């Protein structure tokens, strides 16, 4: 079972628990023995434990000494009892106490004969009972208070039982403490390993497992393993120890009824076998159904605004109910099947008890065993059967935990497609603030054997240049940036950063040169400062403020009472889309990147903010290389190199003016966004006038005076 190997790093804890469980089992197994003694000795024998009594009258001692019973050792008897002249009786010596077992065997018949209780048919246990009755009469003849004698024995035995109970409680508490800590440690280590592994995954591995499944594996599955680990330590280790101890005690009590216990154990295994055959197939699919519920829940919660906007709450509720109902039916089936276990187990144990009482009653009547021994035998039989029951129940419960362990191992053992090279090359040192980037015949498909989304892409961006990508939706623009970040690896061709193939560089070295702004801006829970300064553990506040200024986020941050310490909710849900996008841009700008990757991150910005941000980039971060994915001509027209993509191929590259003149696809995009006058300005190469036109339009939308804007040269205020 896979779960057992998780206990490997905790060998010392397992050994300590095993030792403690042996001690606990010893304490628990002593209790039925003392119960037997209370019934047999304390009640039936009035507290008289031994035929070798502590004191004998002179007459009884003389009659015993004169006996001619077979096996009687007169020398042993003489050495075991010494005459007390003051009391006029014989008292048991230390030598006699040391040899009490031998005295028991040889004094039974002589003592019974001395009190006239000997029976011709008395032998074995029956003779012992007759001898104990004679010993009781001997104490009574000597003037002992048998009521007090009996009570003293009961109190002493009860105190010993209480001591074992307290010891068992302490040992059980220690076992529970160590087992819980061990289980928690296993859960912690697995979560840490799983999280570290997922952090190594590329987007391909994440999508292969699905985020919902990874969340389930990191929470529910690990919880199953943790709970099973505790049960293994507390119950699985304890059950065989207790069962073996019970078998030993039964053998000491009376082995003649052992076949009843064996028959009951066989019944338990038959019952568990049937349940396993019925329940295990359902157990194996239960975790997948939990994945399904989590997936549907995650989709509904993430897309709740879309669901409401299209009025599809009822349909989504039905979809969730269907997934939840499938899980409910599976759980109901397994739970209903498991409910049969306890009634049948009660039937087996009750039949075992009846069988033991039926046969044991005849043995008690025949004097073969005593009543207390029969009670102890029943108790030990229940202990043995319960021990095997626990093991069998865990055999039913283990498959679900084993499935969880298998799912965890699938993640931990999954090969990582994007990893550091075995012999990484050193990061090139050019001394320039910007990095060069070159694609050489790059083709890429998201899945092996699938259609390529990029085909034979080749271009080169010099240090300090701005390269923009534009094209229709699905043309592969964002994929280019993902390949630069090595979220995926190219299927063919090479990508060079400062002349070095990025696959020869350590991922940490590569990504330290890149500042990435994803298409979907994501913020972490925390503060504005913690999000902008995400690239370093303790970033200089001045650096954070500078990044906010460049990203045109300084104004709305200043409006918040806490400033940069204003809280950000998970996912940035407490700021607008444009604010979230500007903070994501500031996060990239605050890093030490030499190459910035802007994946359509200006889409939520108005023309005025867009133009101001790009101007701030040129002025505040000169010499840095930029890759911009955009849909708007206004965003890309000032780039040093514009690459037009269509269906994964480059259909044009050059400057804004060159593409207008020579690339039909680019001209078509421009005609859809520019007025005829603006298009003529672009064809004439008057980009300043064109930018002024965009700025005046933005100012008009913002409520500024167009006439005043024109008088000021068309620059936005």
Q: Which tens digit of pLDDT belongs to each residue from 551-563?
A: 999 988 999 999 8
More confident residue, 673 or 482: 482
Clarify whether residues 537 and 581 are in a common domain.
yes
CA distance 474 to 600: 13
Is 530 a member of any domain? yes
Say yes or no to pLDDT of 469 above 90. Answer: yes
Q: Which among 203, 638, 650, 225 is positioned nearest to 403, based on CA atoms?
A: 225
More confident residue, 153 or 278: 153
Instruction: Lowest mean pLDDT of 268-277, 451-460, 518-527, name the range.
Output: 268-277
Clarify whether residues 501 and 569 are in a common domain.
no
Hey, what are 117's tokens? Answer: 């209780």
Using one digit for the tens of pLDDT, what is the confidence trace for 377-389? 888 888 887 777 7
CA distance 596 to 516: 6
More confident residue, 698 or 497: 497
Is 325 a member of any domain? no
Res 696: pLDDT: 55
CA distance 106 to 67: 11
The torsion angles phi and psi of 289, rounded to 5 degrees, stand at -70, -35
Task: Classify 379 as helix, strand or coil.
Answer: helix
Vertex 573 angle, CA 570 and 579, to 5°? 115
Is 560 a member of any domain? yes
The torsion angles phi and psi of 201, rounded to 5 degrees, stand at -65, 145
Say yes or no to pLDDT of 685 above 70. Answer: no
Clarify whether residues 534 and 583 are in a common domain.
yes
Is 17 a member of any domain? no
CA distance 550 to 532: 12
Is 428 a member of any domain? no
Positive or negative, the CA dihedral 472, 475, 479, 481 is negative
Residue 82 pairs in a beta bridge with 91
Res 503: pLDDT: 93
Instruction: Lowest mean pLDDT of 310-324, 582-596, 617-631, 693-707, name the range.
Output: 693-707
User: Which DSSP string do the residues of 634-671 spell out, in sequence order?
Assistant: HHHTT-SEEEEEETTEEEEEE-HHHHHHH-HHHHHHHH
Using one digit for the tens of pLDDT, what is the confidence trace for 498-522? 999 999 999 999 999 999 998 888 8
Confidence band of 602 (pLDDT split at 50, 70, 90): confident
The torsion angles phi and psi of 596, rounded to 5 degrees, stand at -100, 135
At a CB cut-off of 8 Å and minimum separation 6, what does 476 contact? 453, 454, 457, 645, 647, 648
Res 717: pLDDT: 32
CATH code: domain of residue 470: 3.40.50.300
CA distance 578 to 555: 13
Positive or negative, the CA dihedral 145, 146, 149, 155 is negative
As separate numbers, helices (DSSP H) first and strands (DSSP E) second, the chain gives: 30, 15
Which of 634, 654, 674 is the last residue in one of the domains?
654
The mean pLDDT of 356-375, rounded to a whole number, is: 76
More confident residue, 551 or 291: 551
Confidence band of 596 (pLDDT split at 50, 70, 90): very high
Using one digit for the tens of pLDDT, what is the confidence trace for 296-309? 887 887 777 788 77
Q: Are strands 492-497 and 466-471 parallel, antiparallel or unpaired?
A: unpaired
Res 691: pLDDT: 58
Clarify whether residues 586 and 637 are in a common domain.
no
Res 712: pLDDT: 43
CA distance 553 to 529: 12
Confidence band of 585 (pLDDT split at 50, 70, 90): very high
Res 715: pLDDT: 40
Q: Domain containing 449: what range?
A: 435-513+593-654
Confidence band of 121 (pLDDT split at 50, 70, 90): low
Clarify whether residues 464 and 451 are in a common domain.
yes
Res 254: pLDDT: 62
Hey, what are 261's tokens? Answer: 């216990």
The mean pLDDT of 605-613, rounded to a whole number, is: 82
DSSP, res 428: P
CB-neighbour burial class of residue 22 (10 A; exposed 0-12, middle 13-18, buried 19+): middle
Hey, what are 668's tokens? Answer: 């078509």
Clarify whether residues 505 and 602 are in a common domain.
yes
End-to-end CA distance of the chain: give it in Å, rounded. Answer: 70
Clarify whether residues 546 and 644 are in a common domain.
no
Clarify whether residues 496 and 625 are in a common domain.
yes
Res 68: pLDDT: 72
CA distance 597 to 185: 41
Q: Model-level pTM greater than 0.85?
A: no
Which of 611, 628, 654 is the last residue in one of the domains?
654
Which of 540, 564, 592 is the last residue in one of the domains?
592
Distance set, CA 10 to CA 22, 49, 405, 484, 536 (Å): 19, 47, 17, 43, 36
Res 395: pLDDT: 66
SS3 sequence, 38-96? HHHHHHHCCCCCCCCCCEEEHHHHHHHHCCCCCCCCHHHHHHHEEEECCCCEEEECHHH
Q: Which among 404, 413, 6, 408 is positioned nearest to 186, based on CA atoms?
A: 6
Say yes or no to pLDDT of 256 above 80. Answer: no
Task: Match 């304390």 to its residue by tokens.
Answer: 42
Clarify whether residues 649 and 605 are in a common domain.
yes
DSSP, res 520: S
Clarify whether residues 632 and 563 are in a common domain.
no
User: Which DSSP string do the residues of 278-341 spell out, in sequence order?
Assistant: HHHHHHHHHHHHHHHHHHHHHHHHHTHHHHHHTT-HHHHHHHHHHHHHHHHHHHHHHHHHHHTH
Res 716: pLDDT: 38
Report the percent of the chain where pLDDT is more than 70. Answer: 91
Res 455: pLDDT: 93
At a CB cut-off of 8 Å and minimum separation 6, what does 326 contact? 289, 292
CA distance 286 to 295: 14
**Average pLDDT of the chain to the nearest whole number:** 84
Is 364 a member of any domain? no
Is 605 a member of any domain? yes
Res 252: pLDDT: 72
Do 606 and 701 touch, CB atoms closer than 8 A?
yes
CA distance 72 to 231: 56
CA distance 391 to 313: 47
Other Cβ atoms within 10 Å of 344 Cβ, number: 16
The mean pLDDT of 470-475, rounded to a whole number, is: 88
Using one digit for the tens of pLDDT, what is the confidence trace for 166-202? 999 999 999 999 999 999 999 999 999 999 999 888 8
Is 377 a member of any domain? no
Res 640: pLDDT: 92
Hey, what are 654's tokens? Answer: 């050059």
For residue 166, what is the enclosing H or E element? helix 146-200
Q: What is the largest CA-CA distance in the chain?
A: 143
DSSP, res 527: E
Res 485: pLDDT: 92
Clarify whether residues 598 and 455 are in a common domain.
yes
Res 31: pLDDT: 87
Confidence band of 643 (pLDDT split at 50, 70, 90): very high
CA distance 205 to 198: 8
Res 177: pLDDT: 94
Do 338 and 275 touch, CB atoms closer than 8 A?
yes
User: Which DSSP string do the residues of 89-151 spell out, in sequence order?
Assistant: EEEE-HHHHHTHHHHHHHHHHHHHHHTT---TT--HHHHHHHHHHHHHHHHHHTT--HHHHHH
CA distance 105 to 120: 17
User: How many domains, in total, are found in the chain?
Assistant: 2
Clarify whether residues 443 and 570 are in a common domain.
no
């Amino acid at each position: 079972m896979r779960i057992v190997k998780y206990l490997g790093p905790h060998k010392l804890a397992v050994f300590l628990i095993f030792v403690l469980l042996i001690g606990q089992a010893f304490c628990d197994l002593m209790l039925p023995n003392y119960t037997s003694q209370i019934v047999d000795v304390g009640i039936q024998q009035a507290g008289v434990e031994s035929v070798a009594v502590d004191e004998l009258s002179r007459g009884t001692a003389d009659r015993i000494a004169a006996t001619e019973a077979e096996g009687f050792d007169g020398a042993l008897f003489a050495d075991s009892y010494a005459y007390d002249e003051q009391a006029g009786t014989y008292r048991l010596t230390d030598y006699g106490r040391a040899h009490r077992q031998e005295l028991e065997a040889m004094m039974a018949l002589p003592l019974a004969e001395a009190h006239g209780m000997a029976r011709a048919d008395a032998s074995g246990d029956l003779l012992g009972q007759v001898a104990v009755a004679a010993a009781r009469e001997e104490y009574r003849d000597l003037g002992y208070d048998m009521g007090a004698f009996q009570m003293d024995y009961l109190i002493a035995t009860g105190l010993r039982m209480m001591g074992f109970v307290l010891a068992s409680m302490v040992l059980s508490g220690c076992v529970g403490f160590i087992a819980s800590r061990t289980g928690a440690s296993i859960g912690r280590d697995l979560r840490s390993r799983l999280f570290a592994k997922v952090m190594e995954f590329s987007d391909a591995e994440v999508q292969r497992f699905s985020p919902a499944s990874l969340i389930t594996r990191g929470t529910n599955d690990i919880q199953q393993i943790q709970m099973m680990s505790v049960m293994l330590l507390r119950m699985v280790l304890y059950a065989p120890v207790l069962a073996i101890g019970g078998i030993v005690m039964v053998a000491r009590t009376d082995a003649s009824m052992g076949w009843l216990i064996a028959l009951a154990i066989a019944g338990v295994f038959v019952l568990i076998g049937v349940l396993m055959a019925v329940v295990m197939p359902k157990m194996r699919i239960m975790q997948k159904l939990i994945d399904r519920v989590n997936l549907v829940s995650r989709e509904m919660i993430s897309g709740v605004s879309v669901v409401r906007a299209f009025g599809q709450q009822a349909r989504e509720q039905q979809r969730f109910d269907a997934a939840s109902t499938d899980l409910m039916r599976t759980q109901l089936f397994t739970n209903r099947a498991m409910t049969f276990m306890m009634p049948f187990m009660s039937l087996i144990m009750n039949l075992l008890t009846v069988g033991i009482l039926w046969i044991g009653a005849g043995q008690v009547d025949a004097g073969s065993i005593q009543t207390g021994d029969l009670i102890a035998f029943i108790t030990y039989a229940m202990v043995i059967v319960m021990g095997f029951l626990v093991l069998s129940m865990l055999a039913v419960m283990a498959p679900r935990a084993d499935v969880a362990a298998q799912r965890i191992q699938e993640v931990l053992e999954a090969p990582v497609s994007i990893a550091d090279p075995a012999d990484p090359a050193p990061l090139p040192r050019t001394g320039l603030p910007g990095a060069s980037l070159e694609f050489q015949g790059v083709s890429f498909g998201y899945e092996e054997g699938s259609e390529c989304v990029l085909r034979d892409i080749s271009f080169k961006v010099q240090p300090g240049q701005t390269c923009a990508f534009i094209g229709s939706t699905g043309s592969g623009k964002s994929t280019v940036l993902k390949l630069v970040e090595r979220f995926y690896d190219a299927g063919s061709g090479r990508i060079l950063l400062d002349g070095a193939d990025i696959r020869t560089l350590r991922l940490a070295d590569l990504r330290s040169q890149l500042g990435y702004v994803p298409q979907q801006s994501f913020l972490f829970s925390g503060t504005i400062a913690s999000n902008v300064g995400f690239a370093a553990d303790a970033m200089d506040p001045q650096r954070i403020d500078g990044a906010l200024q460049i990203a045109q986020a300084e104004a709305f941050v200043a409006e918040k009472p806490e400033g940069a310490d204003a809280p950000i909710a998970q996912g940035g849900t407490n700021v607008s889309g444009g604010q979230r996008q500007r903070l994501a841009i500031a996060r990239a700008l605050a890093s030490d990147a030499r190459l910035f990757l802007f994946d359509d991150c200006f889409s939520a910005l108005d023309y005025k903010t867009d133009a101001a941000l790009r101007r701030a980039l040129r002025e505040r971060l000169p010499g840095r290389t930029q890759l911009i994915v955009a849909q708007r001509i206004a965003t890309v027209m000032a780039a040093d190199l514009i690459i037009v993509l269509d269906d994964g191929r480059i259909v044009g590259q050059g400057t804004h003016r060159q593409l207008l003149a020579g690339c039909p696809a680019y001209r078509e995009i421009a005609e859809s966004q520019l007025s005829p006058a603006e298009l003529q300005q672009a064809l004439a190469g008057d980009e300043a006038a064109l930018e002024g036109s965009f700025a005046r339009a933005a100012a008009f939308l913002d409520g500024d005076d167009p006439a005043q804007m024109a008088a000021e040269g068309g620059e936005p205020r």
